[in-house]
A and B are shown apart, each in its own frame.
Chain A
Amino acid sequence: MMTRKNSRIALGIGAALSAALVLSACSSGGGDAAVSSDTKASISYAVWDENQVPALKQNIADFNKEYPNIEVKIDVTPWSQYWTKLQTQASSDTLPDVFWMNGPKFQLYAANGQLEPLTPLIDDKKLDPANYPEALNNLYSYDGTQYGVPKDFDTLGLWYNKSILEKAGVEIPTDAWTWEQIHAASKKISDALGSQGIYGMATSLTGGQEGYYNTILQAGGEIISKDGKKSGYDSPEAIKGLQFWTDLIADGSMPTLQQLSDTTPNVWFTSGKSGFFYSGTWSVSELSEAANTKDLNVAPLPKDDRQATVIHGLANVISAKSKNKGAAQAFVTYLGSKEAQVTQAEMGAANPAFNDTQSAFIDSVPHFDLQVFLDAEQYSYPYPVSKNTAAWEQLEKDLLPAAFSGEKPAEEVAKNLATKMNEALAKE
Chain B
Amino acid sequence: MSAAPKASFRSDGWWPWLFVVPTLLGVLVFYIWPLFQTGYMSFTETGPFGGDTWVGGANYATLIGDENVGLALVNTVVYTAIVLLGVPLAILLASMVNRPGLRFATFYRVLFFMPYIAMPTAVALVWRMIYNGDFGILNWFLALFGITGPYWTSTPGFAIVAVGIVGMWASLGFGIIILSAGLKNIPPDFYEAAQLDGATRWTQFRSITVPLLTPSIFFVTIISVINGFQLFDLLYAIMGQRNPAMQQSQSLVYIFYNQAFINNNKGYAAAIAMLILLVIGIVTWFQFRMQKKWVNYV
In Å, the complex CA distance between A427 and B263 comes to 11
**15 A/B residue pairs, CB under 8 Å, sorted by A:** A3-B232, A7-B230, A7-B253, A8-B31, A12-B34, A21-B50, A83-B261, A87-B49, A204-B242, A258-B245, A261-B153, A262-B153, A391-B264, A401-B244, A404-B244
* Binary contact track B14-43/A, C-beta < 8 Å → 1, others 0: 000000000000000111011101101100
The answer to the question of B281 belonging to the interface, with a C-beta cut-off of 8 Å to chain A, is: no
In Å, the complex CA distance between A404 and B244 comes to 10
The answer to the question of A122 belonging to the interface, with a C-beta cut-off of 8 Å to chain B, is: no
| Candidates A8, A20, A404; contact of B50 at CB < 8 Å | A20
Q: How far is the CB of B142 from chain A (nearest CB, A)?
A: 15
Chain B residue nearest to A206 (CB atoms) is: B242
Q: B34 to A15, Cβ gap below 8 A?
A: yes
In Å, the complex CA distance between A206 and B135 comes to 21
| Candidates A91, A197, A261; contact of B49 at CB < 8 Å | A91
In Å, the complex CA distance between A263 and B136 comes to 10
Within 8 A of A (CB), among B27-72: 29-31, 33-35, 37-38, 40-41, 46-50, 52
* Binary contact track B259-298/A, C-beta < 8 Å → 1, others 0: 0111111100110010010000000000000000000000
Q: B151 to A18, Cβ gap below 8 A?
A: no
Q: A262 to B154, Cβ gap below 8 A?
A: yes
* Chain A residues within 8 Å of chain B by Cβ, number: 45
Q: A91 to B120, Cβ gap below 8 A?
A: no
- Interface segment, one of B5-13, B106-114, B126-134: B126-134
* Binary contact track A386-428/B, C-beta < 8 Å → 1, others 0: 0010110110011001001100000000000000000000000
In the assembled complex, which residues on chain B have CB atoms less than 8 Å from the CB atom of A207? 242
| Candidates A17, A197, A394; contact of B262 at CB < 8 Å | A394
The answer to the question of B227 belonging to the interface, with a C-beta cut-off of 8 Å to chain A, is: yes
The answer to the question of B241 belonging to the interface, with a C-beta cut-off of 8 Å to chain A, is: yes
Q: A394 to B263, Cβ gap below 8 A?
A: yes
The answer to the question of A10 belonging to the interface, with a C-beta cut-off of 8 Å to chain B, is: yes
In Å, the complex CA distance between A83 and B256 comes to 16
Q: B227 to A1, Cβ gap below 8 A?
A: yes
In Å, the complex CA distance between A391 and B260 comes to 11
In Å, the complex CA distance between A398 and B35 comes to 31
Q: B242 to A8, Cβ gap below 8 A?
A: no
The answer to the question of B258 belonging to the interface, with a C-beta cut-off of 8 Å to chain A, is: yes
The answer to the question of A114 belonging to the interface, with a C-beta cut-off of 8 Å to chain B, is: yes
* Chain B residues within 8 Å of chain A by Cβ, number: 61
Within 8 A of B (CB), among A360-404: 388, 390-391, 393-394, 397-398, 401, 404
The answer to the question of A112 belonging to the interface, with a C-beta cut-off of 8 Å to chain B, is: yes
The answer to the question of A6 belonging to the interface, with a C-beta cut-off of 8 Å to chain B, is: yes
In the assembled complex, which residues on chain A have CB atoms less than 8 Å from the CB atom of B155? 258
Q: B247 to A262, Cβ gap below 8 A?
A: no
Q: How far is the CB of A147 from chain B (nearest CB, A)?
A: 15
Q: A17 to B50, Cβ gap below 8 A?
A: yes
In Å, the complex CA distance between A260 and B192 comes to 59
In Å, the complex CA distance between A7 and B241 comes to 19
Q: A112 to B134, Cβ gap below 8 A?
A: no
Decide: A261 near B244, CB < 8 A? Known: A10-B256, A10-B273, A13-B266: yes
Chain A residue nearest to B40 (CB atoms) is: A14
Q: How far is the CB of A424 from chain B (nearest CB, A)?
A: 8
Q: A262 to B34, Cβ gap below 8 A?
A: no
In the assembled complex, which residues on chain B have CB atoms less than 8 Å from the CB atom of A112? 47-49
The answer to the question of A125 belonging to the interface, with a C-beta cut-off of 8 Å to chain B, is: no
Q: A262 to B136, Cβ gap below 8 A?
A: yes
In the assembled complex, which residues on chain B have CB atoms less than 8 Å from the CB atom of A197? 134
Chain B residue nearest to A391 (CB atoms) is: B263
The answer to the question of A217 belonging to the interface, with a C-beta cut-off of 8 Å to chain B, is: no
Decide: A11 near B231, CB < 8 A? Known: A112-B47, A259-B151, A263-B135: no
